[in-house]
Each structure stands twice: as C-alpha cells, then as structure tokens.
Amino acid sequence: MARTKFNNVKISGLTTVIASNCESIDDEEELYDGDLDKIRRLKKTVGLGERYVVDDDTTSLDLCAQALERLVEGMDLDKSNIDGLIFVTQTPDYFLPSNSSIIHGKFKLPKSCACIDLNQGCSGYVYGLWVAHMMISSGTCSKVVLLAGDSMSRTVNPKDKASLPLFGDSGTATLIELSSNPLNSYFDLNTDGTGFGSIIIPAGGFRKPSTEKTKIEFEDGENIRSEENLAMHGGEVFKFATREVPKAVESILNYSGNSAKDLDALVFHQANKFVIQNIIKRLKNHDLTDVLIPLDTVSKYGNQGPSSIPSTISDSLRHDVSHSIKKMLLCGFGVGLSWASAVLMMDKIFCPKIYFYKKEIKND
C-alpha cells in the first residue's frame, strides 16, 4: 500500500500565477448553436463561468517561472540554498530536456540541486508534495521548490464543447523545507492504469507521431477534435472520481487518526462543481459542517489541472493559512487514472493573493 507519514517537513510558502487572457462561456453562444438554456445549465450545474488562458507562445513553464519569482522575492529566499526542484506538468516546453532543468538554468540555481519533472496532471500537486517530503526526510535536500502547472487550453480543440469552456491555465510555486518543530504529514498515493484512455492526447508522442492524418478533425458525439487534441471522456471520469475519491478521503482520515471534523479545510482538485458536489454527497456520514470546502474555483479560473489545489489555497484560503495553523486534507484525482491524498498542517505560510501573468517582451 503506497502510504507514508513524515514528521520533519513543512510547507512554508505558496504562490499562484494565473494566465492573463480571460474567456467566458457567456461569449461562446456560437459553440452551443445559440442554446442559451444549455449555457445557463452548464453554469449552474457544472459551475462553468470564466477561465484564464495563455496565448500561443506562453507555456506552463513561463507561468511557473513567474510564480517562482514571486516566491523568491516575497520570502526573500536565498536561491543558493535551494537544493531540490520538482516540476509537475503534462505540457512541458520540450520532450527533452525537462522543464525543471530549464528553470534551474533560468534562475541560476546552484549545481548541487536535484531536478526532476513529474508527468502527472490533476493528482500531481499531491504527488509532487509527497516526492518533496521524501527528498527532505531522506536527508537528500533541505529546501525543495515544487512547481506545478499546465497549459491545457492549448491542447483543447476550439470546437470541443465539453472541454473548451472547462480548462484554465496557471502556474504555482511551493516551498517545502525541513521543519525544526515536529509536524506530521500523511500521504496516500493510488493509480488505476486500466483507465489510461479516459483522459488522453492520443497522438503527437512516440506511439502515434504527429502526421497529416492525426491533424484531421472528426466528430466525437457533440464534440469536434483531432487526435492531437485532448480527449476527455467525462462520464468515465465522473464515475471514477465518485467511486474512488470518497474512499480515498476516508482512508487518509483513518490513516492519519483524524475524523472529518478535525479538519479545517478539505481541498479537492477543482475538476468542476458537479463532480465535487457528488463526492461530498458520498461523504454524508462524516461531519463536514465546519470544514472549509472550496467549490467555485472552476467558475472563476477554470479547471487548472495540477495547480488547482494550490491556486484554490491562494484564492480562497490564504487568510486562513497565513495567520494561523490549519489542518488540511488535500485530494487530487484525474489523468492516469491516478489519485493522491494528504493530511498536513499549514502553519502561517507565505501565501499572497493570486497574481496574473505579465508577459515579458522578448527581443529575439
């Protein structure tokens, strides 16, 4: 069973940078053939609304780099002390080298710094935190930066009614370091690879390289896309999430010796409001009355993949985590299929408001 506990690692800072171009489902009547009632229902039931997306030459690396700049400036970090860097993304700049190596060079980090990319999506923030905790508790590193971000909007076909209005882009930076006080954190990691086809970009990799044929658009139900676009089978993902996530929450509560009412906040990956509400319905035997459970991130910024959990903390919980100690349950779930949960403390961390991406003018 992939679960573990740490007692000497803490999260000390977190920054979020959201892409700068705002899009709204209210402006997309054409996509729904003028069916305003359908748009109204998508807003009400699924919680769709506004989202922020990158332009064609901005990547998740750019968003995360700005988040890291904000973290370094805001915490007055000495970069020469950073000895671990993890970049969680599924939209890297290149097949090779890794995004973490590029960030390492861009920020002139010390050569004695371990850099890895993790190819994970919506469960990736919790996976990344787990790896960071291991790097520190093993004695390998003392200050690890976790960058998490995707630019899924660039993978979605503009005629895909199901996915276009859902995804937003953002980048986040989190500092994880050795804690002088004992601080318990618990992790539980899971995978069901039989569902790998439920969320997939079928072509463009080495299994099915990009060709003229893979660029051809085709109809998939109500949606139009090519094999090089993101394909998400919403019904399957919904069934997966409502089947596994409530069990995962119960499992990490048991493992960490907590009941639901011991939590200050329960932060799910912000897939969409409909999914989260159905997960919560299945937790009806637990007392969640006084637990903060953010639901509306998707309506404000879209589904942000691996950065949805940290960006929700920046947006909805920053006053809570920056002024006192809070017990948090974090749960990410999605592509893989994979899911990961953690119970950990956030004790007066550096957590400023959300920033919007400012494009640098390049002279090349």
Partner 1 sequence: MTRQEFLNELSDIMQLDEVLIGDEVLEDFSEWDSMANLGVLSMFDMEFSVHLTTDDLKNIKTVAGLMTLAGDNISI
Binding-site ranges for partner 1 (CB under 8 A): 37-38, 41, 44-46, 234-235, 238-239, 242, 274, 278, 281-282
Q: How far is the CB of 157 from partner 1 (least distance, A)?
A: 19
Q: How far is the CB of 249 from partner 1 (least distance, A)?
A: 14
Catalytic residue of the set 157, 269, 286, 351: 269
Instruction: Using the minimum distance from each CB to partner 1, give the nearer residue, 207 or 284.
Output: 284
Instruction: Using the minimum distance from each CB to partner 1, give the nearer residue, 46 or 340.
Output: 46
Q: How far is the CB of 136 from partner 1 (least distance, A)?
A: 39
Place of tokens 């660029």: 215
Residues 142, 110 contacting (CB under 8 angstroms)? no
Strand partners, 294: none
CB atoms within 10 A of CB 360: 10
CA distance 318 to 312: 9
Instruction: Using the minimum distance from each CB to partner 1, give the nearer residue, 133 or 286.
Output: 286
Instruction: Using the minimum distance from each CB to partner 1, give the nearer residue, 77 or 283.
Output: 283
Q: How far is the CB of 282 from partner 1 (least distance, A)?
A: 6
Catalytic residue of the set 122, 141, 331, 351: 122
Q: How far is the CB of 199 from partner 1 (least distance, A)?
A: 16
CA distance 307 to 84: 19
122 catalytically annotated = yes
141 catalytically annotated = no
Of 58, 118, 110, 64, nearest in space to 86 by CA: 118
Instruction: Using the minimum distance from each CB to partner 1, give the nearer residue, 24 or 45.
Output: 45
Q: How far is the CB of 242 from partner 1 (least distance, A)?
A: 5
269 catalytically annotated = yes
Instruction: Using the minimum distance from each CB to partner 1, give the nearer residue, 213 or 243.
Output: 243
Residues involved in catalysis: 122, 269, 303
